[in-house]
């Protein structure tokens, strides 16, 4: 049996963002991102989705994901990601989110990483 090698035609990458919220503040963080999502789109930050982990009906909840908010961004390349994030962060509307965070702390920390799709991944 021969397997056909699949190659991505670009340098597309995905950026995983895991926000660790102040306990009990995930709903407020969701609301903040509801507004920020429009600004992200303005700067070609192609968010694949936003998620809030839930307790599993199988009893497998993972305490490491308590008080987290997760989203995934697709970028044409890491260079494009930098350019788009720089524009987003320079926008005066983003500065309002910075002020909002200073006024009401919702975020304890953020874990962020870039990922490349595996050659057998359905999403590339």
The dihedrals phi and psi of 48, each to the nearest 5 degrees, come to -70, -40
pLDDT given at position 2: 40
Q: Name the β-bridge partners of 75.
A: 13
Sign of the dihedral defined by the CA atoms of residues 24, 45, 74, 109, in that order: negative
- State the pLDDT at residue 10: 72
pLDDT at 57: 61
Tokens found for residue 29: 């963080």
DSSP 26: H
pLDDT at residue 24, rounded to an integer: 94
- Looking at residue 16, what is its pLDDT? 98
Q: Return the DSSP state at 1.
A: -
What tens digit of pLDDT does each residue of 61-86 get? 678 888 999 999 999 999 999 999 99
Q: What is residue 34's predicted lDDT score, i.e. its pLDDT?
A: 95
b/e code 80-101 from CB counts within 10 Å (16+ = b): bbeebbeebeeeeebeebeeee
Q: What is the pLDDT along the chain (124 residues), one digit of tens a residue?
A: 444 444 445 789 999 999 999 999 999 999 999 999 999 999 999 999 999 998 766 666 678 888 999 999 999 999 999 999 999 999 999 999 999 999 999 999 999 999 999 999 988 8
Placement of tokens 């699949």 in the chain: 6
């Amino acid at each position: 049996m021969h397997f056909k090698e699949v190659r991505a035609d670009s340098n597309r990458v995905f950026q995983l963002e895991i926000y660790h919220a102040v306990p009990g503040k995930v709903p407020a963080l969701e609301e903040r991102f509801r507004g920020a999502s429009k600004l992200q789109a303005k700067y070609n930050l192609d968010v694949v989705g936003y998620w809030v982990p839930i307790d599993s009906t199988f009893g497998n909840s993972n305490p490491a994901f308590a008080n987290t908010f997760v989203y995934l961004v697709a970028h044409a390349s890491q260079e494009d990601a930098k350019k788009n994030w720089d524009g987003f962060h320079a926008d005066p509307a983003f500065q309002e989110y910075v002020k909002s965070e200073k006024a009401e702390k919702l975020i304890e920390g953020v874990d962020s990483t870039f990922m490349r799709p595996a050659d057998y991944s359905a999403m590339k």
